[in-house]
Copies of this chain bind each other. A is one copy, B any other.
Amino acid sequence: MSRWQPNARGRLRQAALELYGENGFDQTTVAQIAERAGLTERTFYRHFTDKREVVFSGEVQRVLVSALADAPVSMTPIEAVTAALDAAGAVLDERRDMTRRRQAVIAANPRLQQQEQIKYATLAADLAEALRGRGVEPSSAGLAADAGVAVFRTAFERWIDEAEERDFGRLVRDTLEELAAVISG
């Protein structure tokens, strides 16, 4: 095996998602992932804490929270949340196929589904904290963060559908409009 390992992280992720899809998440070992990627277990652990982190890297969450914190101060809470969702969309749109495969793995495993719910709860708490950091009053910060997560979830569900062609930012706008219509009743 060559010491030079171009895009080791990407190769490991692809190998892991293939194996999770073929044999199930629980049945797959780190040794199998490394072998499929043509890399060593040691290299796997340089890139991921464990096989679950391949599924939940937290990258989209980090993009959301930092984009929210960095949004222009003139923006209202929901405008800043929408800007953050757009920033996440730019990341997601570049990896739509990979994200669909990843989502199929989660859909097939109840423990991963539970982990995903906890991820959304943590995201809502982090967005609320970022909004409070912008000077937004706590209850409005909580509501804007929860609305943002609700829009993210619904837009995401549409976006991963094979038949859906709109990009993530477009779906965010359409979903936010639908949420406003639902709430005004």
Contact = CB atoms under 8 A, between A and B. Distances in A.
A182 B118 contact: no
Interface string A138-150: 0110111011011
Contact of A143 (B118, B140, B144, B179): B179
Which 6 A-B residue pairings sit nearest by Cβ, starting from the closest?
A146-B150, A117-B121, A78-B185, A76-B185, A143-B179, A144-B182
A178 B139 contact: yes
A175 interface: yes
B120 A142 contact: no
A182 B120 contact: no
B147 A150 contact: yes
Contacts of A77: 182, 185
Interface string A144-169: 10110111011001100000000000
How many chain A residues sit at the interface, stated as a range, is: 20 to 34
Interface of A: 76-79, 114, 117-118, 120-121, 139-140, 142-144, 146-147, 149-151, 153-154, 157-158, 175-176, 178-180, 182-185
7 contacts: A78-B185, A79-B185, A114-B118, A117-B118, A143-B154, A146-B154, A150-B150
Contacts of A118: 114, 117-118
Copies in the complex: 2
A151 to B, nearest CB: 8
Nearest to A78: B185
The residue among A120, A142, A151 with the most chain B CB atoms within 10 A of its own CB is A142
A183 B78 contact: yes
Given A139-B178, A182-B77, A153 B146 contact: yes
